[in-house]
C-alpha cells in the first residue's frame, strides 16, 4: 500500500513540477475526446472516451490526466498481483509488483498517457481471466476475458497478440484442447466482437486508417534485405532487453545471481512463460519476417508478468535480509528513473528532443489564441485550425475547449468539414518557421520530394476554401528554462463566421 502511494505521488507530482504541458500524444487524445468518435485515423477510441469522462468529472487539468494514467497502472499492477499469488507466496507476489516500477515502461513513461499506457489494464486483465478460464476452468471467467479483449481492441490492436498466445497454449496442451469446442469460449469471442464491433465497423468504412498508420510507423523502408530482416529484429530485441535491464539489476543486486530452481514443469508454468516472453518473441519473429521495426514504446505491456516469471524460475522464497536488500535496490532505481525523467523532460540531456514538447509555452499560446479571436468576435473560440500540437494545446488550455480541425484535413478530423468552418468561423494558428518541428505527431514518414515540411498552405490557399480571412499580427512565444529553446513565432488568422458575431 505504501509503495502504491509513493508511486502515485511520484508520477503525478513530478511531471506537474517539470512540465508546462501534457505529452504530445496526450494532447491529441484529449481533443479527440471532444468528438466521441468510434475511431480516429491513428488509433482506437477508448482512451479518448475515458479522458473526456475524467475531464468532465474533475476538470481540464494536467493533474487529472496524470492521475488517470497512474490509476490505470495501479489497476494493472493489481491484476499482476492476483496472478502472482498463483505462483508465489504472499511476499514473493508483493515483490513481483514492487519491482515493476524499476522498468522505464512503468515509471518515466507513465506520465505520457497514451494508447500504450491504456493498453496495460485490459492486457493484464485478459491474462488474469485467461489463467482462471484455462488453467482453473472457471466458467465465469470466460465472459470477463471477452470483455477484457474487447476493451483491449478499443485501446490498441497490440492486444491481439494475447489471444494468439492463448490459442498456442491450448493447442500445445492436450488437457486444454476442450477449450476449442466449448460454448463458453465462443460466447467470449462473441462478447469481444460485440464490444469492439462499432469500432471494427468504423475501421472498415474509414479505409483501415489506423492499420495504415501502424504500417507507416513500423519502419518498412528501402533498406537492404539484411537490414530489414536481420538488423531490425535484432535491434528490437536489444531495445526490449535494454528496457528490462534495470529489473535484472534490481533482482541480482537484491537476491543474488539467478539459479534455475528445481520444479515440476506444469501447464500453468508454460502459461506464465508464454505470457511473460511470448509477446516479445512473437514481435521479433514478425519483424524478421516482414522487415518492419519496433518502436520501444510499443512493447510497453509485454513485460508486466516478467517479475513473476523470473522469481518463479530463478529464486527461492527470499530471506528477510534479502527482501530488505531488494527493496533498497528498487528504491534506488526508482529514484534513478525519476532523475532520468527530470533530465530528459527539462531538456538538460541535450540530445533528447522532449524539451521541445514538455517545456512548451502553452499558456502564452492559449492567451494569443484567445486574443486573436477576440479581435474579430467576442464569442468563445469555436474551432481551431492548426497542426495537432498547436491546435490541441491551445484547445486544452482555453476554457471553452474549442474543437480542432487538424491541418484542415477531413481525413484527420472527419467530425468537421469546410462547410462547418465557413458557418462557425475558426481561428487559424501556425508556426511561422514552417520547418515541421511538430510534424512527427501525425506524420511518421519523412516529407516526400516537393512536399512542404509543414502543413500550412498559405492564406491564399485557405481563402480559396473558406472565404475571406483576417490576418493578425504574429506573436512570439518564448520557451521557459532551464535549457534554451528557439522561440515559436506564431502566425494567427481568423475566418469570420457566416453570421456577424459582434
The strand order across the sheet containing 470-477 reads 403-406, 383-386, 426-431, 488-495, 470-477
Residue 347 C-alpha cell reads as 531538456
User: Which residue in 26, 44, 50, 32 sits closest to 414, CA to CA?
Assistant: 32
* Burial of 327 (C-beta count, 10 Å sphere; 0-12/13-18/19+): middle
Angle, CA of 397, 64 and 113, to the nearest 5°:
90
Mean of all residue pLDDT scores within the chain: 90
- What count of other Cβ atoms lies within 10 Å of the Cβ of residue 13? 12
Query: Poorest-confidence range of 60-74, 82-96, 387-401, 447-461?
Result: 447-461
**Interval 172-193 mean pLDDT:** 93
What beta strand segments (E) does 359-480 contain?
383-386, 403-406, 426-431, 470-477
76 has pLDDT over 60: yes
- Closest C-alpha among 300, 175, 291, 130 to residue 225: 291
Q: Which residues contact 335 (CB under 8 A, 6 or more apart)?
A: none
**How much of the chain exceeds pLDDT 70, in percent?**
95
Q: What three-state secondary structure class fits 132?
A: helix
The secondary element (H helix, E strand) that includes residue 395 is helix 388-397
* pLDDT at position 1: 67
Scanning the structure block, which residue is given the C-alpha cell 486444454? 176
Residue 492 · residue 474 · CB < 8 Å? yes
Which CA distances in Å does 436 have to 212, 388, 431?
Answer: 21, 12, 8
**Whole-number pLDDT of residue 502:** 58
Distance, CA of 423 to CA of 466 (rounded, Å): 9
| 186 contact partners, CB below 8 Å, separation of at least 6 | none
Q: pLDDT tens digits, residue range 245-285?
A: 999 999 999 999 988 888 767 889 999 999 999 999 988 88
Percent of the chain with pLDDT over 90: 71
pLDDT over 60 (residue 390):
yes
For 106-237, strand residue ranges (E) read none
Give tens-digit pLDDT for 110-149. Answer: 999 999 999 999 999 999 999 999 999 999 999 999 999 9
pTM of the model: 0.94
Please tell me what DSSP assigns to residue 490. Answer: E
Tell me how long the chain is: 502
| Peptide bond before residue 482 is cis, with ω within 30 degrees of 0 | yes
pLDDT at position 216 over 90: no
- State the first-to-last Cα distance of the chain, in angstroms, to the nearest integer: 57
pLDDT, residue 222, reads: 57
CA dist 474 to 91, 392, 497, Å?
61, 19, 21
Residue 48 has phi, psi (to 5 degrees) of -70, -40
27-59, pLDDT tens digit by residue?
Answer: 999 999 999 999 998 999 999 999 999 999 999
Please give the C-alpha separations between residue 158 and each of 55, 115, 161, 228, 299, in angstroms, as whole numbers: 26, 10, 6, 21, 9
Question: Residue 253 corresponds to which cell in the numbers above?
Answer: 543486486
Give the residue with greater pLDDT, 370 vs 234. 370
Q: What are phi and psi of 173, to 5 degrees?
A: -120, 105
Residue 141 and residue 112 in contact, taking contact as beta carbons nearer than 8 Å: no
Residues facing residue 429 across a β-bridge: 492
**Strand partners of residue 426:** 495
Q: Which residue has the higher pLDDT, 481 or 459?
A: 459
Buried b (16+ CB within 10 A) or exposed e, 215-245: eebbbeeeeeeeebbeebbebbbebbeebbe
Element housing 489 (H / E): strand 488-495
Strand partners, 494: 427, 470
Amino acid at each position: 500500500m505504501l509503495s502504491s502511494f509513493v508511486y502515485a505521488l511520484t508520477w503525478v507530482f513530478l511531471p506537474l513540477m517539470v512540465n508546462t504541458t501534457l505529452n504530445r500524444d496526450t494532447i491529441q487524445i484529449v481533443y479527440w475526446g471532444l468528438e466521441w468518435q468510434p475511431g480516429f485515423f491513428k488509433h482506437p477510441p477508448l482512451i479518448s472516451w475515458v479522458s473526456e469522462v475524467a475531464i468532465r468529472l474533475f476538470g481540464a487539468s494536467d493533474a487529472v490526466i496524470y492521475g488517470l494514467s497512474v490509476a490505470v497502472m495501479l489497476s494493472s499492477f493489481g491484476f499482476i498481483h492476483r496472478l502472482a499469488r498463483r505462483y508465489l507466496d504472499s511476499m514473493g507476489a508483493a515483490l513481483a509488483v514492487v519491482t515493476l516500477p524499476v522498468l522505464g515502461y512503468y515509471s518515466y513513461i507513465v506520465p505520457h498517457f497514451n494508447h500504450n499506457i491504456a493498453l496495460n489494464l485490459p492486457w493484464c486483465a485478459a491474462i488474469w481471466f485467461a489463467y482462471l478460464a484455462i488453467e482453473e476452468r472457471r466458467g465465469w471467467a470466460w465472459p470477463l476475458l471477452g470483455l477484457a479483449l474487447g476493451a483491449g481492441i478499443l485501446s490498441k490492436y497490440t492486444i491481439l497478440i494475447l489471444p494468439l498466445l492463448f490459442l498456442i497454449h491450448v493447442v500445445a496442451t492436450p488437457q486444454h484442447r476442450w477449450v476449442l469446442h466449448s460454448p463458453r469460449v465462443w460466447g467470449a469471442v462473441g462478447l469481444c466482437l460485440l464490444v469492439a464491433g462499432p469500432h471494427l465497423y468504423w475501421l472498415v468504412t474509414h479505409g483501415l486508417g489506423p492499420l495504415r498508420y501502424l504500417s507507416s510507423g513500423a519502419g518498412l523502408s528501402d533498406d537492404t534485405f539484411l537490414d530489414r530482416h536481420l538488423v531490425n529484429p535484432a535491434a528490437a530485441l536489444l531495445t526490449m532487453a535494454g528496457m528490462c535491464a534495470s529489473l535484472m539489476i534490481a533482482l541480482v543486486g537484491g537476491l543474488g545471481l539467478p539459479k534455475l530452481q528445481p520444479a515440476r514443469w506444469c501447464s500453468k508454468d508454460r502459461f506464465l512463460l508464454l505470457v511473460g516472453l511470448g509477446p516479445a518473441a512473437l514481435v521479433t519473429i514478425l519483424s524478421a519476417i516482414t522487415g518492419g521495426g519496433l518502436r520501444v514504446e510499443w512493447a510497453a505491456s509485454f513485460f508486466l508478468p516478467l517479475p513473476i516469471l523470473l522469481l518463479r524460475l530463478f529464486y527461492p522464497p527470499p530471506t528477510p535480509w534479502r527482501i530488505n536488500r531488494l527493496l533498497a535496490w528498487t528504491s534506488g532505481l526508482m529514484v534513478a528513473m525519476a532523475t532520468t525523467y527530470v533530465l530528459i523532460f527539462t531538456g538538460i540531456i541535450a540530445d533528447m528532443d522532449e524539451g521541445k514538447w514538455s517545456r512548451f509555452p502553452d499558456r502564452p499560446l492559449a492567451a494569443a489564441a484567445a486574443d486573436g479571436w477576440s479581435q474579430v468576435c467576442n464569442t468563445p473560440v469555436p474551432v481551431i485550425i492548426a497542426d495537432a500540437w498547436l491546435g490541441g494545446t491551445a484547445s486544452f488550455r482555453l476554457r471553452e475547449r474549442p474543437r480542432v480541425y487538424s491541418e484542415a484535413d477531413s481525413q484527420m478530423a472527419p467530425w468537421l468539414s469546410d462547410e462547418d468552418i465557413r458557418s462557425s468561423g475558426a481561428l487559424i494558428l501556425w508556426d511561422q518557421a514552417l520547418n515541421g518541428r511538430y510534424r512527427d505527431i501525425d506524420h511518421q514518414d519523412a516529407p516526400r520530394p516537393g512536399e512542404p515540411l509543414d502543413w500550412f498552405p498559405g492564406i491564399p490557399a485557405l481563402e480559396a476554401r473558406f472565404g475571406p480571412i483576417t490576418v493578425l499580427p504574429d506573436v512570439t512565444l518564448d520557451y521557459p528554462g532551464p535549457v534554451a529553446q528557439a522561440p515559436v513565432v506564431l502566425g494567427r488568422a481568423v475566418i469570420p463566421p457566416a453570421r456577424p458575431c459582434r
